[in-house]
Structure 1
Amino acid sequence: MKRFGLLLLCVALSLYIFAENKEKSAIERAVKDYIQSQHRVLPDMMANGIDTSLAKRTYWESEEGNEFILESTYEDMVNLAGVYNKNGDKFPASPRVDIDIYDIDERVASVKLTADDWIDYMHLYKNGEGQWKVINVLWQLNNINDHVSKKR
């Protein structure tokens, strides 16, 4: 009987680990859709990884020196993915993509993405169709002095 109990415990633990790894993989896929769509100029990939209610924010400084919150929407990010790296000069040949999943709790997750020039703190949720989507992003450039509007 003890062996049977131990076997059940091992099976339950294996199923739990499998399910957790499956969730982590799906979360990483959504984050990779977000960043790799910018590398590869693939707006449909961006649309796949983010929620239509996306709120992406950072602090910015105007040419006059006034700080404000710069916001990007779902539409902004899908459009950005279609043009940002069109000339292939915005990222190194092997771009940095470090994903740290801080927490997963049922249908929500907190993640840090470290890319070449910036970091993104992200919130994701698992929608009704079982897909993980990025819904909130707070980001900053690694060089915070670059958070200034440039005269065009």
Structure 2
Amino acid sequence: MSNNLLTATASIQVLKPVAEVFEMIQNPQKGMVNFWINKSSGPFTEGAMLQWGFPEFDEQFPVRVGKVIDDELITFYWEAENGKEHEVKMAFADYKGSTVVTITESGEPNTPEGLKWAIGNTEGWANFCACLKAWAEHGINLRKGAFDYRFEG
């Protein structure tokens, strides 16, 4: 196997203008805390170090913000379970007045463990996309109660 880094990718079209969808991500209090995370220490601003909380976990997760280009791109870095830092890119593009959001996360080598990571994180980012669309278009939080079964029992 080669040593190329694998990438998890997901995308979705949200029937809202780019500026509105971008703001739901850039300022978590305006969006992401309603459908993905339950806490953020602040908005995405270049160079910021954020702390995120997820409803299923007691611990906080550090997020280091990279580049932010209004209505176009947010990059951030966070630590994977194996301790490696991963880069996440969220790109926003207009499509006939709606928004195409494309998310890529990279950081794992092309190994059996890396392939398992790529599959799992592609699933996770696809879930994020579905949650974003449901919240943005209908005010529905798909994540609420979605993963209780993984932590009980």
- Tell me the TM-score normalized by structure 1: 0.32
Q: Which has the larger helix fraction?
A: 1
- Choose between structure 1 and 2 for higher RCO, CA contacts under 8 A separated by at least 6 residues: 2
**Larger CA Rg, structure 1 vs 2:** 1
| TM-score under structure 2 length normalisation | 0.31
